[in-house]
Amino acid sequence: MAPRLALRLRLASSVLFAAAAGATGALLSLAVFDAVPGTPGVVGGLVALLAPASGAVAALALRLLGGVGTFVATAVLLILGAATSTGTDPAEYLPAWAAPLASVLPSGVAVQGLRDAVYFAGDEVLRAVVVLALWSVVPFLVIAAVDAVARRRP
């Protein structure tokens, strides 16, 4: 259904999903499971940025690759992203080729930003916000460009 929607509706649904994911993530991790000693703003904010970052990449993969894009996005974001996020194991346990992915894939960036905000001085939180914002915006810009080119073709 999503590829048939106008880009502005896809963006609006992404923003709504981000807000819901951030609120739910903060509620579950702080109040229900007491899993993170952070504040609702930090936890909710990073989860709210992670949601559209992942969604935008999935939307781009779907736009460029069709139905196969769902599988590609799942493999990259969920399987590879979760495995390299350093949420459960330190980066030192990752193979040499996978270690750099922790600092660029959305899930790893969010984990590092949250870890820095909660346990350290918070110096890397801005980097996490910028990287997640780029993951949220750039794929939609590419989709807009691809859609514009497609409209120009006879």
Q: What is the pLDDT of residues 48-93, one digit of tens each?
A: 999 999 989 998 999 999 989 989 999 999 899 989 998 888 888 8
Coil, strand or helix: which one is 37?
Answer: coil
Q: What is the pLDDT of residues 85-117, one digit of tens each?
A: 988 888 888 899 988 998 899 999 999 999 999
CA angle 120, 52, 100 (to 5 degrees): 50
The pLDDT score that the predictor gives to residue 99 is: 87
Q: What is the pLDDT of residues 3-54, one digit of tens each?
A: 677 878 878 888 899 999 999 999 998 989 888 888 899 999 999 999 999 9
The pLDDT score that the predictor gives to residue 90 is: 83
Query: Measured over all CA atoms, what is the biggest interatomic distance in the chain, rounded to whole angstroms?
Result: 57
Query: What global pTM score does this model have?
Result: 0.87
The pLDDT score that the predictor gives to residue 45 is: 93
